[in-house]
Chain A
Amino acid sequence: MAKRIDVSDLDIFYGNFKAVEGVNVSIEPRSVTALIGPSGCGKSTFLRSLNRMHEVIPGARVEGKVVIDGQDLYGSDVDPVDVRRQIGMVFQRPNPFPTMSIYDNVVAGVRLNSKKMKKNDLDDLVESSLRGANLWNEVKDRLDRPGSGLSGGQQQRLCIARAIAVQPEVLLMDEPCSALDPISTLAIEDLMTELKDRFTIVIVTHNMQQAARVSEQTGFFNLNGVGQPGRLIEFNPTEKIFSNPDQKATEDYISGRFG
C-alpha cells in the first residue's frame, strides 16, 4: 500500500513564474517526511505537484519527473483524477464539506470511486476511518450532524479520516496543524506516528519541533531572494538536519537566525 516517491529535476511554474526549481529527492515508503523552510519558498507548491493538484490553478504546470513505484505521474496516459484517488491530501485549513454530514464527509471519496458498497460495509468503513483519525469517540453519537459544527481540531481529524477512508498510498499534509490549538496539534502528531505504518506521509510544517518529533527524513527548502525560484537545499535524516546539517543555510534556519 505505502509507496515510494522519486522526484527528478522537477521545475514548477505558475504561468511564466518559476516557483520551484530542480528538485531531486526520494521519499521512502512507510515513513514521515517533513518539509520545512521559510514562507514562499515553494513547499506547498512542491507538495501539490505530488498529487497533480498544482495544475488545478489556471496556467500552472510542471517540468520533470515524479515517479511513484515505477509509474510516472505526469505520463501522457495518466489521468490526474486517478492520481488524486491514490494520493490523499490534507490542507492547511480544515475543509470538511459543510453541506454534508460527518458520515457523508468520511465516505465522500469512497462514493466517488463509485464502488457500490453495502450500508454495513460503509458503516464499518466510517467507524474504522474515524477511529484511525482518533475522532470516533467524539462524534459517534452525531454522525448525521454537519461536519462544520465540529471544532477546528476535530474538523482537521475529520479531513484526515476522509483522506484515509479511500486507502490512499500516500498522504500529503500541508501545515495540517497551523490552524489548531496545541492539544489538537498533539492529537494529530500522535495520529501521524500511527498512520505511517500504513501510508507514506509527507508533511509541510512551519513548526520545527513538530518536524523533529514526527519525521524520519526532513527536507529544507529555501530561496535566494524575492522572485527567485525555491530550491530543495538539503534532504537528510531528521536527526542529522537538527544536529549536524550539511548546509550553512539549514543551520541558520533551524537555529532561528532567519525565516
Chain B
Amino acid sequence: MTSLDTKPRKADKPARAVRSAGDRTFAGLSTGAGILILVVLAGVAAFLIAESLDAISAPAAEVPGGEGVWSYVGPLVFGTLLAAVIALLVATPLGVAIALFITYYAPKRIAATLGYLIDLLAAIPSVVYGFWGLAALAPSLVPFYAWAERNLGFLPFFAGPASVTGRTMLTAGLVLAIMILPIISAISREVFSQAPALHREAALALGATRWEMIKMAVLPYGKSGVIGGAMLGLGRALGETLAVAIVLSVSGGITFDLISSSNPSTIAANIALQFPESSGLDVSTLIFTGLVLFVITLAVNMLARYVVNRRADFSGAN
C-alpha cells in the first residue's frame, strides 16, 4: 500500500549468496541508498545540535527575549502545532470525503476532472497561497470572526477581540489546510481505489448499502494509508514557512484564541522572518528552534508509524 507500511528494512542478512552481477549491483545500490539516507539525517541532526549549542549554553538574558532558549521556543512550538492541528482537522475529513466521492460516488468524467483539479492545488507555490490568504481569504473571513466573537465568544477559541484584518491563527490554519488537501486526498484516493473488489463484493452481497460497504471494506482497508497521508500533510503543515509568514499577524504568546490579531508565530515562519536580521547568538537560537522542529517532525512520524502498525495483522495487507 503506502510507503508507511513497508518499514525501511536494513538490507537482508546474507542468508543466500548473491549470485549474478546484476543482483550484486542492485543490492549494493539499494544498501548504499539506505545508508546515504541515514548519513544525511545524522548529518542534519549533528549540524543542528552543533550550531545551537551556543544558544543553549548562553546565559538566559543574552538569548532573544531575555529568558533563555526554552522560553523563546515555547510559544513558537505552540503556534506551529496549533496551526498544523487546525490544518489537519480541516483537511483530513475533507480530503477523505473528496477521495471517497471521486472513487465511489462521482460519475467517471466528473471524478477525473475533480481529481485533476485537486492535484493542481499541489502545483501552486506556497508564496501564492500566502498572498491569496492575505489578500482574499483573510478579508472575507473578517465578518465571520466578528460574528463568532459575538455568538461563540464563550469558547476560548473565539474569545476575541476579533481581528479586523483577518490575519488570524484560524486563517493561517485554513490556508495550510488547503495546501495539504491535495496530499491527503491523493493518497486517500489511491488507497480507497485499491480496496479489493473481493471484499467490497462481500459487503454488498451481505446487503450493505454503498456507504455501509465503504465502512466495512474500504475505510478499514484504507485507514493506514489515510493516516500516512495525514502525516505527510502534517509534515508539510509543520514546516510550511512562507504562507504562514505572510498570512499570520504575529505579536504575543501562547493563546487558544484563534480569531485575534495577537498570535504566536510558527517555528518555520519565525526563522524566515528573523534570519535576515540576525547574527551571532540570535542565529544560534533560531537554529535551536529548527532543531526543535526537526525533533517534533520525527516524533510525529514515529507516532504515525506506531498507529499504523499497532493493528497490523488486521490491516488487510496479509
Contact = CB atoms under 8 A, between A and B. Distances in A.
Q: Is the A/B pair a real complex?
A: yes
Interface of A: 51, 53, 56, 81-86, 88-89, 91, 93, 95-101, 108-109, 112-113, 146, 148-149, 159, 162-163, 166
Interface core residue of B198, B217, B220, B314 (most chain A CB under 10 Å): B314
B62 interface: no
B314 A113 contact: no
Contacts of A81: 207-209
Given A109-B207, A146-B313, A53 B318 contact: no
Contacts of A112: 206-208, 212
Nearest to B210: A81
A6 B223 CA distance: 43
Contact of A93 (B198, B205, B217, B316): B198
Contact of A85 (B202, B207, B313, B318): B207
8 contacts: A84-B207, A85-B206, A88-B205, A89-B205, A109-B206, A146-B318, A148-B313, A166-B207
Contacts of B205: 51, 53, 84, 88-89, 91, 163
Interface of B: 196, 198-199, 201-209, 212, 216-217, 220-221, 223, 313-316, 318
A203 to B, nearest CB: 15
A113 B318 contact: no
B75 to A, nearest CB: 41
Given A108-B216, A112-B212, A148-B318, A97 B199 contact: yes
Contact of A97 (B204, B220, B223): B220
Contacts of B313: 146, 148-149
A98 B318 contact: yes
A130 B207 CA distance: 20
Contacts of A148: 313, 316, 318
Nearest to A96: B202
Contacts of B206: 84-85, 88, 108-109, 112, 162-163, 166
Contacts of B223: 99
B207 A91 contact: no
Q: Which 7 A-B pairs have the closest CB atoms?
A: A85-B207, A99-B220, A109-B206, A89-B205, A98-B316, A84-B207, A95-B198
